[in-house]
Amino acid sequence: MPPDPLFATDALTVRYGGVLANDRVTLTVDRGEIVGLIGPNGAGKTTLVDAVSGFAPATGAVTLAGRRLDGAGPHRRRAAGLARTWQAGELFTDLTVAQNLAAAIERPGGRTGGGDVCGRRRPDADGIQAALEMLGLGDAADRRPTELSLGQQKLVGVARALVGGTAMLLLDEPAAGLDTHESGQFGAELRRIAATGVGVLLIDHDMTLVLDVCDRVYVLDFGKVIASGPPAAIRDDPAVIAAYLGSAVAE
Ligand SMILES: Nc1ncnc2c1ncn2[C@@H]1O[C@H](COP(=O)(O)OP(=O)(O)OP(=O)(O)O)[C@@H](O)[C@H]1O
């Protein structure tokens, strides 16, 4: 029998009024695997990340390392090792890179303690440096975000989600705005993260990045999974081309 996946949703369903934003979405991500989630605007990709991380009301199961997390609040899911980025993931430009990572896990009011508002373990300077080094940003800790390239700034955003012990990373359009070269470098860094055993769910409209870097891809349309499989099969799937790739390639 294959081992249990690191991460799974089972029949995850989110309804916003009359809109079925996620319709019984079932997917898995293994340890060390990068899994893409693609689909047209409004297909329900961000909703899935919101539901999985505890920010949208949902029915269905969410499991991380064999532990059910549905029903838990965002802080408990984060403490269990599930981390996300946000589409508008701007950095604080008046803080250094290391301070940006620390700020992401500070408690409001500057209180210190064993955990933060998101339930994360408070990492020490070593933890912050380790997260930066994993992303090739080891010498950027004391620099300001504006001194870095856009690609490096995007990686700082990922490092922010990695600090404090992360098993599963949910990335919502982390490469938006990158050119082809930067996006290729970004993909290589994602592979380095996955090689440490972290699972990655990658949402992006950059099809070159998604199809190059992902082990498997799920396609959402109107909240439903309409296809899943390895990138080569997804690229050639007529239903996927009709629903999304035709327009995505033309963009
Ligand atoms: N908070 C909300 N309240 C009501 N409806 C919402 C809410 N969030 C999303 N929706 C609706 O749910 C559907 C899915 O939206 P979602 O943002 O998840 O799509 P998406 O695939 O992430 O799109 P994009 O690629 O543009 O980011 C859309 O019809 C959207 O209007």
CB 135 within 8 A of CB 193: yes
- Cβ pair 130, 138 in contact under 8 A: no
Residue with CA closest to ligand 1 atom 9: 47
Measured CA distances, 65 to 72, 80, 118 (Å): 15, 9, 19
Query: Would you list the DSSP string of 115-184?
Result: B-TT--B---HHHHHHHHHHTT-TT-TTS-GGGS-HHHHHHHHHHHHHTT--SEEEEESTTTT--HHHHH
pLDDT of residue 248: 62
Give the atom of ligand 1 at the shortest distance from the alpha carbon of 43: 21
- Model confidence at 111: pLDDT above 50: no
Residue 48 has pLDDT above 90, yes or no: yes
pLDDT at 110 over 50: no
Is the CB of 41 inside a 6 Å radius of any atom of ligand 1?
A: yes
Residue 168 corresponds to which amino acid? M
Residue 39: predicted pLDDT: 96
pLDDT at site 1: 65
Please choose, from the candidates 187, 180, 8, 154, the residue with its C-alpha nearest in 3D space to the C-alpha of residue 85. 154
For the complex shown, is ipTM > 0.85? yes
Q: Which domains does the chain have, with CATH numbers?
A: 7-250 (3.40.50.300)
Q: What is the mean pLDDT of residues 38-51?
A: 96
Nearest protein Cα to ligand 1, atom 26: 41
Residue nearest to atom 5 of ligand 1 (CA): 16
Asked if the model's pLDDT at residue 115 lies above 50, the reply is: no
pLDDT in the model for residue 117: 39
Residue-wise pLDDT for 116-172, tens only, equals 334 445 567 888 998 899 888 999 999 999 999 989 999 999 999 998 789 999 999
**pLDDT, tens digit, 9 for 90 and up, residues 161-218:** 998 789 999 999 999 889 999 999 999 999 999 999 999 999 999 999 999 999 999 9
Which of 46-69 are b and which e, b meaning 16 or more Cβ less than 10 Å from the residue's Cβ?
A: bbbbbbbbbbbebebebbbbeeeb
Evaluate if residue 46 carries a pLDDT over 50: yes
Q: Ligand 1 within 6 A of 44 CB?
A: yes
Tokens read off for 250: 């033309």
